[in-house]
Amino acid sequence: MHSLSLRRRQWALRTANRIRPHLYDLFLDRNRPIPGYLRKSYFTYIAAVAEHNYCHQQYHGNIVVFRDQQTYPDPLQGWGRFVRDAVAYEIPVDVDHHRGLLQEPAVRLLAEKMEEHLRRRA
């Protein structure tokens, strides 16, 4: 009995995943907003579609990577394979999470490094 209810739930999930894109289109084709109860699944869906369709290309410009002082195997954090010229600046951060660069005092140092880099490039 339990496996039947599990099968039914799996079937319902597969069916919902097939129907949802048509539901999104129904709203969008009529210039209607996606309702709140569908919004999260809609954004997850369009992000997955965009990721699937995206083709990485070489960027022929220069980039600057601002990062915290944590140890990374790649100081450019993966960007080096897409660009010819990349520079990485390390900003000391007092907190141990990814938003630390956007908090004082690190954000002040980040702004200073940005200004310094822009002055040198001008």
**pLDDT tens digits, residue range 9-38?**
889 889 988 999 999 999 999 999 999 999
Give me the percent of the chain exceeding a pLDDT of 70.
Answer: 96
pTM to 2 decimal places? 0.52
Interaxial angle between packed helices 36-53 and 2-29, expressed in degrees from 0 to 180 and rounded to the nearest 10: 80
Instruction: Please report the pLDDT score of residue 54 as a whole number.
Output: 92
Number of H helices, E strands in the chain: 3, 2
